[in-house]
């Protein structure tokens, strides 16, 4: 049954089979991942090297690509031009020279239908730039993906709901602001034409999927309700945002809208009703891209929409008030969007991870323990600008060297906690000259941890380090706190429901903090909440067009959400 | 005789007097500097605290300024407006609160004629920002300066030539490019109107000072010759540049033009001739500000002016060729400017130090041992941009953290040599976001040392460190060498002549490398050379409008140059 899954490495499937019985196909897939992971570097390299080079169709007679002829037919490397063929040949040679193993890519891609020729070549070029140890793991991940697709074929299983959710993302991504759309970039900021087109599209999708009520509310949220037969029942709230950052990914936010829609669609198709109302909210705004304020959608539901935000302006000078009027929204109605906690069971949110953890662990899903608290600063170190040739090292007050020391100090401090993060994302010596010792260095500081206490302890140490470094180097500094967000630990009962749902799919339960902020962080203030993360491809990159996930992982997210609904329905 | 030099600290003068006899007033001044320097921190603080606060004229009845009433009358704090008076009061309070000693400023300033009210307030505001340990020393330096002026008064000695040289700098600084002149900034780049006005002004000054021949040569240098009676005698070449960086100082380059002019003026006034010709060149261009090429003036004398430079363009697209044509210069004649080494004794250059060493040592002059060799790079580290919230510390490839580590590594490496310097002057995370781990970090690298071998060893270690850091952090880098200049050690015989000249003035001889490049570096290629440095005020700041030196130090430079001429004249 499992013959031919791996190129010349049948032992992986054989060893995995010793773990029978399997609770699901996902369980079997993970067993094989574990066998290869435990086999050690030499065995992993041998598995990779058993694969032939990536080949264009012109070479199909002499060599196969990494996948079978059947798979190659479904991928995009057919009918290569001589230029493309030469390019692939050259990339293969460069890759082999750098890594000493062949480039492996699951050419059937995240939807299983095949990558485009251009996507394959771009991926090849990008991965050629990678670090050898990362690239080794990326090849193994691609082998797992190839095997996953082969297993689906062998078992005649298709991730039908996952494919549908994948396709919905594609359809929604057709709407982008014109300036970005020309360059193939996805940008949907609050109340632009593209944003309003998304809302209309989502209304249609929810209606088609069987929701009983679908409205665009006063802040621009698309709200669909799938009602229980018991009118007095409480409501489970879920959803995520449909706006994007500039040049963002297709899945950030939207996955958390489409997954519950897929569940409602299935319930509706089977004529099933839940013993509670299900309310799916596509939040209009979370990213804070067009105006300074962020979380406009979820803030409205918690009664925290601040009317003074209406006077904020975008880069063109348009106020939020004007933008809302143009969209036919009445800001005076926002206050009425506030939800009464007693009407609600809680809030759950599905979201793409936006980080590398699940990808590195080869796990499709993760359960969120807490949304990290964060503190942000804008800082400047002021030393003394002086001649880089004439000022002896021991007489310098170098602002950049002080900043460099701080970067390393906070890196070390965050590492000590294990699950804290600290980042200097912006760094600049203003008007720096090659021959002038930096007199000023500006930087940002972003620190996050799973608990406010842990975060505050780190912040304290970081600021002490800054003061100590500056005193020792005889430079001074300015520091402005620009954000302080409390962390939002998951409600234990709701986290437990997600854990049970994941476990029911035969997948190891992995619990993890969320480093990024999410709408759940806002809803946290008025009701219990917990989130489910879905693995991202490409090292979990996000806020980037390379953001991606597979339709198989989306299927698991839909399955987990359905599990959660069933569990909840069965609870006394 | 020495009563009243110090406020309530007569012991300084008394202890200094025990070192009698003194070879010069400069020797006595330095003896007092040494007494206070050796007295320790407690005694220094007591001396500082013996001074009253800086006071506006409105307070003259109740309190004196740091200097006597007589001195205050010559300074600018007379007739303060109520606002100015309040400002000074506030600055005094803030300064006292920060440093716990009173602000001390030699209000008679670098020329002895008094600072303007605005200058005093600006200096106060700037120094309030300083580090306590620096500011303590700066107060002591100002006390030394107050005492220097008092001593001059007591002995009835005026730095006549120094004052003249000081005034010449002021007069030349009236010419600045219009855009900068409006903001009170000095900018004179190659062949602009301001630059050509400087040349005309210098021709006039040289002619008035008794030079026998004065010309503007084909590259724009102003060349004055003070001839020996022996027509066949060889020539001593000296000079420096009259162009400036943007928003530069008044003394950078120009001091090395005016000091020998003052010597010629004195020789001419006394009807004295030297047994060698003296050629003073005001080089037209050294800084490389308008066009990419630098050292245009001195390169012409060494025959290294590259005609391809004529096609370089400034920011407005004007070629050097066009600029020269507009200035009436004929580039075809530049080749003929090449000097024949056999006609020359050597090249000497006086220059403001452009660094803090002499100021910290309280020494007015320094003898240069070598112009440091330098290597410059433009570099970029490429890591992986990722979400600052979601990417665990141990999974990051942070380009800025790698750069920070390199900055500290090269700082430590340069320190190890003692007299090497290494600088990251430009530093930038392009398009950095507060919540994104830096994927790229661009920086410059400038490394200099007194010998090429020492420099190359440092460069090797720096590049090894860069490679090691990047390998360990799994990031990559690019590196472009943009400059490599060999060092120019002083000719021993000429360095010796400067040492003897300084010693003859009763000043301790301090030998030091030049960290900055100078015209002497170019002349080095065809004749022996050695340089004399003059102390800068304000921690030796340069390429900055705060660049300054006193007319007393200028007097000593003129005296040293005259000494060198006398010695040379007396040599067999």
Q: A437: helix, coil or strand?
A: strand
Distance in angstroms (rounded) separating the CA atoms of residues A298 and A303? 9
Average the pLDDT over B291-319 and give the result: 94
- pLDDT in the model for residue A73: 54
The dihedral over CA atoms of B508, B513, B514, B520, expressed in degrees to the nearest 10, equals 90
Q: Which residue of B has its CA nearest to A135?
A: B474
What is the distance in angstroms between the Cα of A291 and the nearest Cα belonging to chain B?
16
Question: Per-residue pLDDT for B370 more than 50?
Answer: yes
Q: Which residue of B has its CA nearest to A413?
A: B393
- Residues of chain A with Cβ-Cβ distance to B388 below 8 Å are 421, 423, 425, 446, 448, 515
The dihedral over CA atoms of A494, A500, A504, A505, expressed in degrees to the nearest 10, equals 60
What is the distance in angstroms between the Cα of A266 and the nearest Cα belonging to chain B?
32
Distance in angstroms (rounded) separating the CA atoms of residues B216 and B196? 10
Is A376 at the interface with chain B, CB within 8 A? yes
- pLDDT in the model for residue A1: 65
B360 contacts A421? CB cut-off 8 A: no
Is B3 at the interface with chain A, CB within 8 A? no
CB-nearest to B354 from A356, A390, A541 is: A390
**Neighbouring residues of B21: CB distance < 8 A, sequence distance ≥ 6:** none
- pLDDT in the model for residue A93: 95
**What is the tens place of the pLDDT at every residue in A64-73?**
344 544 555 5
Percent of chain B scored above 70 by pLDDT? Answer: 96
Percent of chain B scored above 90 by pLDDT? Answer: 82
Task: Enumerate residues 512 to 531 of chain A having a beta carbon within 8 A of any beta carbon in chain B.
Answer: 514-517
Give the ipTM of the model, two decimals please.
0.80
Is A414 at the interface with chain B, CB within 8 A? yes
Question: Per-residue pLDDT for B497 more than 70?
Answer: yes
Question: Per-residue pLDDT for B310 more than 80?
Answer: yes
- Residues of chain B with Cβ-Cβ distance to A354 below 8 Å are 387, 389-390
A390 contacts B540? CB cut-off 8 A: yes
Question: Per-residue pLDDT for A135 more than 50?
Answer: yes
Is A289 at the interface with chain B, CB within 8 A? no
What is the distance in angstroms between the Cα of A374 and the nearest Cα belonging to chain B?
9
What is the distance in angstroms between the Cα of B564 and the nearest Cα belonging to chain A?
25
What is the distance in angstroms between the Cα of A37 and the nearest Cα belonging to chain B?
18
Average the pLDDT over A408-415 and give the result: 98
Higher pLDDT, B2 or A246: A246
**Burial of B506 (C-beta count, 10 Å sphere; 0-12/13-18/19+):** middle
**What is the tens place of the pLDDT at every residue in A17-54?**
998 999 999 999 999 999 999 999 999 999 999 998 88
Is B387 at the interface with chain A, CB within 8 A? yes
Confidence of residue A385 (pLDDT cuts 50, 70, 90): confident
A420 contacts B376? CB cut-off 8 A: no
Question: H or E segment at A71?
Answer: helix A69-74
- Residues of chain A with Cβ-Cβ distance to B393 below 8 Å are 411, 414-415, 420-422
**What is the tens place of the pLDDT at every residue in B106-157?**
999 999 999 999 999 999 999 998 888 889 999 999 999 999 999 999 999 9
Tokens for B357, please give them.
């060493």
Is A300 at the interface with chain B, CB within 8 A? no
- Residues of chain A with Cβ-Cβ distance to B430 below 8 Å are none
- Residues of chain B with Cβ-Cβ distance to A433 below 8 Å are 425-426
Q: Which residue of A has its CA nearest to B429?
A: A427
Is B185 at the interface with chain A, CB within 8 A? no
Average the pLDDT over A440-445 and give the result: 96
Confidence of residue A61 (pLDDT cuts 50, 70, 90): very low
Distance in angstroms (rounded) separating the CA atoms of residues A455 and A486? 9
With contact defined as beta carbons under 8 Å apart, do B322 and A358 qualify?
Answer: no
Average the pLDDT over A99-114 and give the result: 95
Q: How many beta-carbon contacts under 8 Å exist across A and B?
A: 249
- pLDDT in the model for residue B428: 96
**What is the tens place of the pLDDT at every residue in A145-189?**
999 999 999 999 999 999 999 999 999 999 999 988 777 889 999
Average the pLDDT over A197-212 and give the result: 98
User: Which of A325-339, A472-486, B194-208 has the weakest average pLDDT?
Assistant: A472-486
Q: Which residue of A has its CA nearest to B449?
A: A389
Average the pLDDT over A370-391 and give the result: 92
Q: Which residue of A has its CA nearest to B373?
A: A389
Confidence of residue B65 (pLDDT cuts 50, 70, 90): very low
B353 contacts A386? CB cut-off 8 A: no
Give chain A's mean pLDDT.
Answer: 93
Is B399 at the interface with chain A, CB within 8 A? no
Confidence of residue B413 (pLDDT cuts 50, 70, 90): very high
- Residues of chain A with Cβ-Cβ distance to B449 below 8 Å are none
Distance in angstroms (rounded) separating the CA atoms of residues A450 and A459? 13
Average the pLDDT over B53-57 and give the result: 74
Mutation target vs A (from B423, B516, B540; most A CBs, 10 A cutoff): B423
Confidence of residue B61 (pLDDT cuts 50, 70, 90): very low
A411 contacts B398? CB cut-off 8 A: yes
Is A435 at the interface with chain B, CB within 8 A? yes
**What is the tens place of the pLDDT at every residue in B518-556?**
999 999 999 999 999 999 999 898 888 899 999 999 999
A436 contacts B134? CB cut-off 8 A: no
What is the distance in angstroms between the Cα of B292 and the nearest Cα belonging to chain A?
14
**What is the tens place of the pLDDT at every residue in A492-540?**
999 999 999 999 999 999 999 999 999 999 999 999 999 999 999 998 9
Mutation target vs A (from B377, B427, B534; most A CBs, 10 A cutoff): B427
Is B480 at the interface with chain A, CB within 8 A? no
Please say whether the dihedral angle defined by the alpha carbons of residues B50, B55, B61 and B66, taken in this order, is positive or negative. Answer: positive
Confidence of residue A109 (pLDDT cuts 50, 70, 90): very high
Is B427 at the interface with chain A, CB within 8 A? yes
Average the pLDDT over A387-399 and give the result: 92
Question: Per-residue pLDDT for B200 more than 50?
Answer: yes
Q: Is the omega angle on the peptide bond into residue A21 within 30 degrees of 0, that is, cis?
A: yes
Is B472 at the interface with chain A, CB within 8 A? no
Is B400 at the interface with chain A, CB within 8 A? yes
Is A98 at the interface with chain B, CB within 8 A? no
Residues A52-72 as b or e (16 or more Cβ within 10 Å = b): bbbbbbbbbeeebbbbeeebb
**What is the tens place of the pLDDT at every residue in A456-494?**
999 999 999 999 999 999 999 999 998 888 999 999 999
Q: Which among A432, A434, A458 is positioned nearest to A445, based on CA atoms?
A: A458
A415 contacts B540? CB cut-off 8 A: no
Confidence of residue A60 (pLDDT cuts 50, 70, 90): very low
Q: Which residue of A has its CA nearest to B388?
A: A423
Cα-based angle A275, A281, A282 (whole degrees, multiple of 5): 150
With contact defined as beta carbons under 8 Å apart, do A245 and A363 qualify?
Answer: no
pTM for this predicted structure: 0.79
**What is the tens place of the pLDDT at every residue in A209-267?**
999 999 999 999 999 999 999 999 999 999 999 999 888 899 999 999 999 999 999 99
CB-nearest to A427 from B394, B411, B427 is: B427
CB-nearest to B441 from A394, A427, A540 is: A427
Distance in angstroms (rounded) separating the CA atoms of residues A31 and A13? 9
A542 contacts B387? CB cut-off 8 A: yes
- Residues of chain A with Cβ-Cβ distance to B372 below 8 Å are 389
- pLDDT in the model for residue A209: 98
Q: Is the omega angle on the peptide bond into residue B21 within 30 degrees of 0, that is, cis?
A: yes
With contact defined as beta carbons under 8 Å apart, do A74 and A108 qualify?
Answer: yes
Is B403 at the interface with chain A, CB within 8 A? yes
């Amino acid at each position: 049954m499992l013959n031919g899954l791996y190129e010349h490495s049948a032992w992986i499937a054989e060893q995995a089979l010793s773990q029978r019985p399997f609770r699901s196909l996902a369980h079997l897939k993970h067993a094989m991942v574990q066998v290869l992971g435990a086999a050690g570097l030499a065995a992993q390299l041998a598995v990779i090297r058993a694969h032939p080079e990536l080949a264009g169709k012109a070479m199909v007679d002499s060599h196969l690509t990494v996948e079978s002829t059947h798979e190659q037919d479904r991928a995009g490397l057919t009918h290569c031009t001589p230029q493309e063929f030469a390019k692939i040949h050259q990339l293969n040679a460069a890759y082999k020279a750098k890594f000493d193993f062949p480039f492996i890519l699951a050419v059937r891609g995240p939807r299983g239908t095949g990558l485009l020729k251009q996507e394959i070549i771009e991926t090849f070029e990008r991965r050629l730039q990678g670090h050898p140890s990362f690239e080794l793991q990326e090849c193994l991940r691609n082998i797992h993906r190839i095997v996953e697709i082969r297993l689906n074929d062998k078992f005649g299983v298709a991730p039908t709901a996952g494919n549908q959710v994948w396709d919905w993302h594609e359809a929604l991504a057709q709407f982008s602001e014109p300036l970005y759309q020309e360059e193939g970039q996805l940008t949907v900021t609050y109340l632009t034409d593209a944003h309003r087109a998304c809302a209309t599209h989502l209304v249609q999708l929810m209606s088609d999927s069987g929701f009983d009520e679908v409205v665009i509310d006063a802040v621009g949220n698309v709200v669909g309700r799938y009602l229980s037969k018991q009118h007095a029942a409480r409501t489970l709230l879920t959803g995520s945002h449909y706006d994007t950052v500039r040049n963002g990914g297709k899945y950030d936010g939207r996955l958390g809208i489409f997954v519950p829609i897929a569940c409602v669609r299935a319930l509706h198709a089977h004529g099933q009703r839940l013993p509670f109302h299900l309310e799916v909210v596509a939040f209009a705004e979370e990213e804070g891209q067009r105006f300074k304020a962020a979380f406009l959608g979820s803030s409205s539901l918690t009664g925290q929409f601040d009317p003074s935000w209406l006077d904020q302006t975008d880069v063109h000078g348009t106020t939020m008030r004007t933008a809302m009027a143009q969209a036919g929204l009445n800001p005076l109605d926002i206050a009425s969007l506030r939800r009464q906690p007693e009407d609600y069971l809680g809030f759950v949110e599905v979201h793409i991870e936006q980080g590398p953890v699940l990808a590195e662990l080869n796990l499709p899903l993760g359960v969120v323990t807490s949304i990290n608290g964060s503190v942000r600063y804008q800082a400047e170190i002021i030393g003394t600008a002086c001649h880089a040739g004439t000022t002896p090292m021991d007489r310098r007050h170098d602002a950049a060297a002080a900043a460099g020391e701080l970067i390393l100090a906070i890196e070390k401090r965050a590492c000590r906690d294990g699950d804290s993060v600290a980042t200097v994302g912006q760094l600049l010596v203003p008007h720096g000259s090659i021959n002038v010792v930096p007199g000023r260095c500006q930087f940002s500081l972003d620190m996050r941890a799973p608990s406010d206490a842990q975060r505050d302890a780190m912040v304290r140490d970081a600021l002490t380090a800054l003061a100590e470094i500056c005193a020792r180097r005889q430079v001074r500094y300015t520091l402005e706190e620009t954000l302080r967000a409390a962390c939002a630990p998951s409600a234990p009962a709701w986290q437990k429901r997600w854990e049970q749902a994941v476990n029911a799919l035969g997948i190891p339960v992995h619990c993890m903090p969320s480093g990024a902020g999410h709408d759940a962080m806002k809803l946290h203030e008025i009701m219990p909440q917990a989130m489910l993360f879905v693995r991202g491809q490409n090292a979990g990159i996000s806020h980037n067009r390379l953001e991606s996930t597979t339709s198989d992982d989306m299927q698991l997210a839909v399955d987990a959400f359905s599990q959660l609904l069933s569990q909840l329905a069965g609870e006394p």
